Amino acid sequence: MDLHWQLLTFIVCLQLLRSAGFILQPEVRKCSYGHIDKLLRIRCYDLDLKEVPQNLKTSVEVLDLSHNRIRRLKTSSFQRYTDIKFLMLYDNMILSVEVGTFESLTSLQEIDLSNNGLTTIPLELFQLPRLRNLYIDSNELTSLNLQALEKPIRAPLEYLNVAGCELQELPDLGILPKLWQLNASMNPLENFRIDSLANMCHLQVIDLTKSQLSQCGCQQVTNHLMMLGASPKFVPVCLEALDNRVCPLPYNRTIHSPTFASCQTTLQFAETRSFWLFGAGCFGGVCFVLLIVIFCVIHCRRKRAQRRKRNAQKRKPFVISPRNAINNRQPEDEPLHCDTARK
């Protein structure tokens, strides 16, 4: 019995000390809320999370889940957060992604899946209508299988990072008319083919540093970029100039190929479509403003006419008095007599 009371006394004293602040309680870390460029941002950085939390605001637009312990992404992971535009998932050691996980993120513009354990790229990412930037570097994409990829892809990719993935060749994503920067550094690229660049007619920067490009491949890429007017700054330095008989410059497989021409046509069509959509939007906006102005003018005129009509109805009409007609000898300076009409 004494032991029971001693234990109870100890617990009470411990609670009193903790409430008084003498014993530090472990800090409970939670996701922080804020705004960046008027976008709602939720930062769940380094919180030891094992799955995507489901108690966040559904209107989140920038979601940072990096540096956690998420191993698997499920179809239900992001179904509540369809407004996400920027998604950070790097450094989680993600090993698998269920089909349909990203399908609902139709507003997604950028996703960072770098520093994980992925062996393939979720193909549904390439069908998102607004995805511009994709970071998939530092994954295990050694045997990348894209045979099931539907081409041309729907995503308007502008930046692609596949650095440090042990790739033997550049991934074949079909025509990428808007891609202007590709980072494929720190990959062996032993099976690199120069005609793989024909899909990227808008390419301005390609990073191939710390790759194992052959001297011929290096020379071919450098010449291809120079023909495009792009910078070969991040292409390995060619130690020697090879003769065309040893290393031909197959422009018929790059800038003179049907693939390159198709890429340019797609890009021009997209630019023309954007121009006409912009023009149609401006024309529609001007017409809408004019309609509002015309409506306001007509409405104001109608209001004034109704007000004049109401005022006229309130006034009592006057008639000339019969005495003026009888009294013919009335002096000229004497005012006329008026009678108020009676109803």
Following DSSP, what letter does each residue of 34-60 receive, concatenated? EEETTEEEEE-TTS--SS--SSS-TT-
116-145 pLDDT tens trace: 999 999 999 999 999 999 999 999 998 788
The reported pLDDT for the residue numbered 20 is 58
Mean pLDDT for 223-251 is: 85
Residue in the structure block whose two tokens are 């309130």: 314
Cα 51 versus chain centre, distance? 24
Above 60 in pLDDT, residue 276? Answer: no
The reported pLDDT for the residue numbered 300 is 81
Mean pLDDT for 73-87 is: 96
Alpha helices in 315-335 (DSSP H): 322-326
> Which residues have CB under 8 Å from 81's CB, separation 6+?
56, 58, 60, 63, 105
CA dist list (Å): 297 to 24, 222, 283, 289, 310: 71, 65, 21, 12, 20
CA dist list (Å): 168 to 1, 43, 139, 141, 243: 75, 36, 14, 10, 26
The reported pLDDT for the residue numbered 343 is 47
Q: Percent of the chain beyond pLDDT 90?
A: 55
HSE-up of 105 (CA within 13 Å, CB side)? 25
184-194 pLDDT tens trace: 999 999 889 99
One-letter amino acid at 292 equals I
6-55 pLDDT tens trace: 656 666 666 665 665 554 444 557 899 999 999 999 999 999 999 999 99
Asked if residues 192 and 169 have their Cβ atoms less than 8 Å apart, the reply is yes
User: From CA 49, how far away is CA 31, in angstroms rounded?
Assistant: 10
User: From CA 284, how far away is CA 30, in angstroms rounded?
Assistant: 46
Q: Please measure the distance between the N-terminal and C-terminal CA atoms of the chain and give it in whole angstroms.
A: 108
For β-strands 133-135 and 159-161, DSSP reports them as parallel
User: From CA 257, how far away is CA 215, in angstroms rounded?
Assistant: 23
The reported pLDDT for the residue numbered 14 is 61
CA angle 99, 101, 107 (to 5 degrees): 130
The reported pLDDT for the residue numbered 255 is 92
> Which residues have CB under 8 Å from 1's CB, separation 6+?
none
Above 60 in pLDDT, residue 335? Answer: no
> Which residues have CB under 8 Å from 152's CB, separation 6+?
174, 175, 266
Average pLDDT, the chain: 84
Copy the structure tokens of residue 255. 């800038």
The reported pLDDT for the residue numbered 253 is 87
> Which residues have CB under 8 Å from 234's CB, separation 6+?
185, 205, 206, 207, 208, 209
The reported pLDDT for the residue numbered 24 is 44
Best-predicted range by mean pLDDT (103-112, 226-235, 272-281):
103-112
HSE-up of 168 (CA within 13 Å, CB side)? 5
The reported pLDDT for the residue numbered 127 is 96
Strands (E), 156-204: 159-161, 181-183
Mean pLDDT for 214-229 is: 90
Above 60 in pLDDT, residue 312? Answer: yes
pLDDT band at 65 (very low <50, low <70, confident <90, very high): very high
HSE-up of 204 (CA within 13 Å, CB side)? 6
